[in-house]
Amino acid sequence: MTIDFSCSNCAAALKAPNEYAGKMAKCKKCQAKVRIPEGAGIDIELEPDTSGQDPYQKLMSNLRQELKKMKFPDLQRFDLNELPDEDVKAIFEWGMWTFNLGASEQGTIDEIKYDGNLVILTDGSRWEVEDGDAYTVEGWTAGDEIVIVSDRMYRLDESESVAVSKE
């Protein structure tokens, strides 16, 4: 299946495979960078009936459903039903641990200044990039989704990261 969408710059009709949902792409007509929408053209999976399951099976089914709702970028390429229960539980616990610690911030790049040494997010927060990583940020653009964990900023669509500190 493909995702049908329009360029946000020139309104050209575009298509992309489902596995590229949420990623950035260039419009073939105007070369603008556009985000491929998530959810368009993707089959909706209904929650499984867990009424006849034993408590452990029900717990594991619930954990899988919660992980799907969290939409961790790297998990999108896995079928959680194919992973062993202990892996699903470990991933869930890690995600909740990170979330509960407030160890991460998520946002969208609004502007990049000073040859990649400063990243400003749409929420107004400003992040100084270490000198050795500024060349990486020069390839990033406004609209890129990022996550910051333990003084590292990760660009989600390319899995690149740089060392940062909040200004």
CA distance 138 to 127: 14
How many Cα atoms sit within 13 Å of 114 on the Cβ side?
12
Query: Encoding tokens for residue 126?
Result: 């400003």
Q: Which stretches of 102-167 are DSSP H helices?
A: 134-137
Query: Encoding tokens for residue 129?
Result: 């990039």
CA distance 87 to 106: 24
The vertex-144 CA angle with 142 and 149, nearest 5°, equals: 120
Q: What is the pLDDT of residues 61-117, one digit of tens each?
A: 777 777 666 666 666 666 777 778 888 777 777 766 665 555 567 889 999 999 999
| All structural domains of the chain with their residue ranges | 2-35, 55-101, 104-166
Q: What is the pLDDT of residues 139-155, one digit of tens each?
A: 899 999 888 877 888 88
